[in-house]
Chains A and B, each alone.
Chain A
Amino acid sequence: MAYASVVGVGMIPFGKHPDRTLVDLGSEAAYMALKDADLNPKNVEIGFFANGFAGRLFGDFTIGQNVFWNVGINSIPVVNVENACTSGSTAFYLAYNAVAAGQVELAFAVGAEKLYVPELGLLNSGQTELDTQLGRVAPASFALRAIRYMEEFDATPEQFAQVSVKNRRHSGLNPLSQFRDPITIEEVLGSPMVVDPLTRLMCCPNADGAAAVVVASPDIAQRQGRAVNIDAAILATGNYENPQDQLRWETDYRACGVAYEKAGIGPEDINMAECHDAFAICEILHYEAMGLCPTGEGARFAAKGETELGGRVPVNTSGGLLSRGHPVGATGLAQIYEIVTQLRHEAGKRQVERAKVGLAHCMGGDKEGDTKSCTVAIFSV
């Protein structure tokens, strides 16, 4: 039996919300999750709020208390979480741990982000960090992997483009996703080059967005008709050894391996996954780390359609970061929203048949040619 379950999820449409505040977006997602769970907010015993950039962009911080009080939650411990692109999934990890440890019966993870602001610029891993000062920007980290991947594994930009095309096709079936019009391989390859060999349509767009997940103990979950088991929720940090193999990414493989071990299953048991496709090459590397295909085969695996809806193991049925957009603090929770929706068989036209086990994978930040954080969670019904 799982130590904890998801009993409620909420998510607002990702996109441009220029007239709404960050607190407003987060509060609505939180409200939706509480209504989905049909729970009294006064029963929530701990809250985690995820956000990446409000401090820098708006001068706002310690935002969680504002969001939770908007949905009637006060007095309890509230923790504000920042962990780069995994901020949302880290909030979920903490909520899971609080319940699994038996400290609380009901924990709440909410994430929100507003990135459509003129002053954003290119995301990096910290303005004063040496790599940033030496020209590292987020897309460059993955472009360096992509160039090496093409050389070592004989992959092509056309194969990378197929990831963008697939995720956009999925996105067309998801009303909460930002960009839903289909795109072709030619359009992906012909869009402006951002960082060689990644074109604009191989890079995730910004978004404003919010998502929320309610985690409950087995006692509460068994009274809920639509609970989804959490079989593992793990958070890993990079190893920072040198040299870092940019393709056989130890931290990524290790994070997935630990999650499988804790869940007591293997990659062959996964029916679907949401992974951190911040750039098309990322999804390919993560297929390999998740064990969905052998190392070096990810690009061909994508090109063969194995990860499309109807394929062997659909990945990013939500549209992924590539089409949904990447409101950093909300992304990890939006991935869990999708997995839970699929496992409840409530995903409508994008429903994965026979979905019983799903995996949510997220990654954040750069350090020493490695990542700062990687989260993996496995869910089942």
Chain B
Amino acid sequence: MNSETTVDIQPIAPGIFTLPPYDKNPPVLLGGYCQKCDKRYFPRPKYCPGCLGLIEETTVGSTGTIYSYTVIRIKPPLGFPSPYSVVYVDLDESGLRVFCLFDPEAIDQLRIGLEVGLAVKPLGDNGQGEPRLRPYFTPRKLN
């Protein structure tokens, strides 16, 4: 089931994004959904903060636009490249504004309003030098 490149690399946290392989379905961020409140959350809460009802897993989106961004230029934590970038993205699917990493290779394209899509790759480590899969947004190639 796993592609050979990521077979041994664990995601940074469970239930945050769909796992590889992505040849049929591209990666999507996962969150929580409360049927009673008809509300989606990211990340998935244990109970619905609105009604304490049960939360089911749902997708919250894989594309969106950048609300804001920054580039961290000091010594990075967790084995991230230097510099690395983080963004808030307004997701098309759910309207949620999520905090996430941005493609370190595409920092020169960063601007508010940039249309982005989700990708997943080994990015940084677990604090003990073991690589981890992390989600990040990258400029969308619009056809």
Give the interface of A toward B (CB within 8 A).
Answer: 121-122, 124, 127, 130-137, 139-140, 143-148, 151, 192-196, 240, 242-244, 246, 369
Complex contact A130–B13 (CB within 8 A): yes
Listed residue (B49, B99, B101) with the most chain A CB atoms within 10 angstroms of its CB? B99
Q: Apart from A131-B99, A135-B72, what 9 extra A-B contacts exist at CB < 8 Å?
A: A127-B127, A130-B16, A133-B78, A135-B86, A135-B101, A195-B70, A195-B72, A196-B70, A242-B97
Complex contact B41–A195 (CB within 8 A): no
Which residue from B16, B42, B70, B87 sits with its C-beta under 8 Å from A242? B42
Complex contact A246–B68 (CB within 8 A): yes
What are 14 A-B interface contacts by the 8 Å CB criterion?
A122-B74, A124-B77, A130-B13, A130-B16, A130-B43, A133-B13, A134-B86, A136-B99, A144-B68, A144-B88, A146-B70, A151-B112, A194-B74, A195-B71
Question: Chain B residues with Cβ under 8 A from A246's Cβ?
Answer: 67-68, 88
Question: Chain B residues with Cβ under 8 A from A242's Cβ?
Answer: 41-42, 96-97
CB distance from A160 to the nearest CB of B (A): 13
Give Cα distance in the complex from A192 to B75, angstroms.
Answer: 12
> Could you tell me how many residues of chain B have their Cβ less than 8 Å away from some Cβ of chain A?
36
CB distance from B128 to the nearest CB of A (A): 12
Give Cα distance in the complex from A192 to B74, angstroms.
Answer: 9
Complex contact B68–A135 (CB within 8 A): no
B124 within 8 A of A: yes
Give Cα distance in the complex from A196 to B71, angstroms.
Answer: 5
Digit string of B3-41 for contact with A (CB within 8 Å is 1, else 0)? 000000000110010000000000000000000000001
Give Cα distance in the complex from A146 to B77, angstroms.
Answer: 22
Give the interface of B toward A (CB within 8 A).
Answer: 12-13, 16, 41-43, 49, 67-78, 80, 84, 86-88, 90, 95-97, 99-101, 112, 124, 127, 134-135
Listed residue (A130, A136, A147, A243) with the most chain B CB atoms within 10 angstroms of its CB? A147
Complex contact A369–B88 (CB within 8 A): yes
CB distance from A194 to the nearest CB of B (A): 5
Complex contact A133–B12 (CB within 8 A): yes
Question: Chain B residues with Cβ under 8 A from A194's Cβ?
Answer: 72-74
Complex contact A147–B70 (CB within 8 A): yes
Question: Chain A residues with Cβ under 8 A from B77's Cβ?
Answer: 121-122, 124, 132, 135, 137
Listed residue (B13, B88, B95, B112) with the most chain A CB atoms within 10 angstroms of its CB? B88
CB distance from A130 to the nearest CB of B (A): 5
CB distance from B95 to the nearest CB of A (A): 7
Complex contact B49–A144 (CB within 8 A): no
Complex contact B70–A144 (CB within 8 A): yes
Complex contact A140–B127 (CB within 8 A): no
Listed residue (A140, A145, A240) with the most chain B CB atoms within 10 angstroms of its CB? A140
Question: Chain A residues with Cβ under 8 A from B41's Cβ?
Answer: 242
Question: Chain A residues with Cβ under 8 A from B69's Cβ?
Answer: 144, 147
Give Cα distance in the complex from A96 to B13, angstroms.
Answer: 41
**Please, which residue of chain A has its CB at the minimum distance from the CB of B94?**
A242
Give Cα distance in the complex from A302 to B99, angstroms.
Answer: 29
Question: Chain B residues with Cβ under 8 A from A124's Cβ?
Answer: 77
Question: Chain A residues with Cβ under 8 A from B87's Cβ?
Answer: 144
Give Cα distance in the complex from A131 to B70, angstroms.
Answer: 14
- 6 tightest A-B CB contacts, nearest first: A243-B97, A143-B70, A148-B68, A196-B71, A144-B68, A135-B86
Give Cα distance in the complex from A241 to B42, angstroms.
Answer: 11
Complex contact A135–B80 (CB within 8 A): yes
A124-B77, A151-B112, A246-B68 known; A369+B99 contact, CB < 8 A: yes
Listed residue (B49, B77, B87, B90) with the most chain A CB atoms within 10 angstroms of its CB? B77
Give Cα distance in the complex from A127 to B77, angstroms.
Answer: 11
Question: Chain B residues with Cβ under 8 A from A122's Cβ?
Answer: 74-75, 77
Give Cα distance in the complex from A240 to B80, angstroms.
Answer: 27
